[in-house]
Amino acid sequence: MLSLPDFEAAARRVLPRPIFGYVAGAAEDNRAHDDNRRAFDELAFVPRVLCNVAHRQQQVSLFGTTYASPFGIAPMGIAALSAYRGDIVLARAAAQAQIPAVLSGSSLIALETVMAEAPGTWFQAYLPGTNERIDALLRRVAAAGVQTLVITVDIPVAGNRENNLRAGFSTPLRPGVRLAWDGLTRPRWLLGTLLQTLARHGMPHFENSFADRGAPILSSRVQRDFAERDHFDWTHIARIRRQWKGALVIKGILSPLDAAQAHRHGVDGIIVSNHGGRQLDSAVAPLRVLPAIVERAGDMTVMLDGGIRRGADVLKAMALGARAVFVGRPFNYAAAVDGEAGVAVAIDLLRAEIDRNLAMLGLTSLDDLGPQYLFNHRAPHP
């Protein structure tokens, strides 16, 4: 494994086709997904030289905590289907490497269990149906010791994931000959999944999905999760802000106008994101709107995810004003390939790329990055 993309090829071999398809897939024609990468590719670096870069550091401080690197692990639902105890694997590897990890609200492992294993983990929630449920959510999350709550807002309805169906993945999961064959030819994956299923005395279910808590992923009750999400608006965020004393982050902002709204509502941070291209296809790539969002974000901490695969991508996003970034799929693949050790390798690779590139840019600190280090092939340049 020499780079993050190597984990994708390896994960394709170890995961059943429907599971790999679920992780790799995006919405409709993959336009948003593909443009996430293209947006990074269109930017080149303009390095400075002879800068004495002997003492480099890549720490960042987010909501009062200092992290060793400016990237974290994005929330990914049902990660425990990719790797044995996947959510714990991701959270522990992140804690060990001193980077943030965000536990998904659609995970198969209970929030409290993950927090016990990795106490600094951030928690991502989808807004549950009613005010009573929102209040219950906040009570449970606070009781579990969560300090940073991420509310994902780009799923008013489920995205159109034709790719899932083509790959044979669906919720409810449909066991069949194909899945059985994939499982038998991937014994490591099968063993992990069986162990988890036995350990919980039944089929896995969404542990932290507050809209329909405990809905088995083999049940159509999961679909109802989505039915309730389309009525949420900023009044719900205002309510949460009044009650939640920890850091509040909104994930899934793409419009500068919404960034300004979030700021007006006292939100502490935003993750500029199109959900890795998995929701609205043709949604703009986060990197393209980042500068305009930073302008409207006031003192909020602006972060970004989508398409980051190299240290160079991390630095490009930061040069355009992101304070930190999140990476999704590659860490899921790394967990599938070699559990916690795999994720640790992936983190180290990205960290080393950032350090190396920082030196070649002529920088010792991320604070000195700025747009003057970038050249856009497509934009007129002075």
Q: Does 124 bind ligand FNR (CB under 6 A)?
A: yes
Which residue numbers are catalytic? Answer: 275
- Cβ neighbours for 303, distance < 8 A, ≥ 6 positions apart: 62, 249, 269, 270, 271, 272, 322, 323, 324, 325, 326
- Identify which of residues 77 and 339 has a Cβ nearer to ligand FNR in the complex: 77
- Identify which of residues 23 and 114 has a Cβ nearer to ligand FNR in the complex: 23
Q: Residues touching ligand FNR: how many (CB under 6 A)?
A: 24
Nearest to 134 by CA among 233, 240, 208, 228: 240
Q: Give the ranges where the chain is alpha helix by DSSP (H).
A: 4-14, 17-24, 31-41, 86-96, 111-117, 131-143, 162-167, 177-184, 187-199, 221-227, 234-243, 256-264, 286-296, 311-319, 329-361
Nearest to 328 by CA among 33, 1, 57: 33
Helix (H) or strand (E) holding 71: strand 71-73
Q: Does 316 bind ligand FNR (CB under 6 A)?
A: no
Q: Does 339 bind ligand FNR (CB under 6 A)?
A: no
- Identify which of residues 306 and 363 has a Cβ nearer to ligand FNR in the complex: 306
The identity of residue 185, as a single letter, is: T
Q: Taking contact as CB under 6 A, which single stretch among the options 204-212, 269-277, 293-301, 334-342 is the one that binds ligand FNR?
A: 269-277
One of 11, 76, 259, 346 touching ligand FNR (CB under 6 A):
76
Q: Shortest Cβ contact with ligand FNR: which residue?
A: 328
- In the stretch 273-312, what mask flags binding to ligand FNR with x, by CB under 6 A? x-xx-x--------------------------xxxx----
**Cβ of 131: how many Cβ atoms within 10 Å?**
11
User: How distant, in Å, are the alpha carbons of 53, 143, 158, 354 from that of 361?
Assistant: 9, 44, 41, 10
Q: Does 148 bind ligand FNR (CB under 6 A)?
A: no
Q: Which two tokens stand for residue 180?
A: 């059985």
One of 85, 186, 251, 310 touching ligand FNR (CB under 6 A):
251
Q: Does 357 bind ligand FNR (CB under 6 A)?
A: no
- Identify which of residues 329 and 363 has a Cβ nearer to ligand FNR in the complex: 329
What DSSP state is assigned to residue 108? Answer: S
Q: Does 73 bind ligand FNR (CB under 6 A)?
A: no
User: How distant, in Å, are the alpha carbons of 101, 322, 377 from that of 75?
Assistant: 7, 18, 32
What part of residues 153-212 is at the interface with ligand FNR (CB under 6 A)? none
Residue 367 CB, nearest approach to ligand FNR (Å)? 24
Asked whether the beta carbons of 324 and 351 are under 8 A apart, the reply is no
What DSSP state is assigned to residue 188? Answer: H
One of 327, 337, 350, 358 touching ligand FNR (CB under 6 A):
327
Specify the 3-state DSSP secondary structure of 43.
strand
- Identify which of residues 193 and 273 has a Cβ nearer to ligand FNR in the complex: 273
List interacting residues with ligand FNR (CB under 6 A).
Answer: 22-23, 36, 74-77, 104, 106, 124, 152, 251, 273, 275-276, 278, 305-308, 327-329, 332
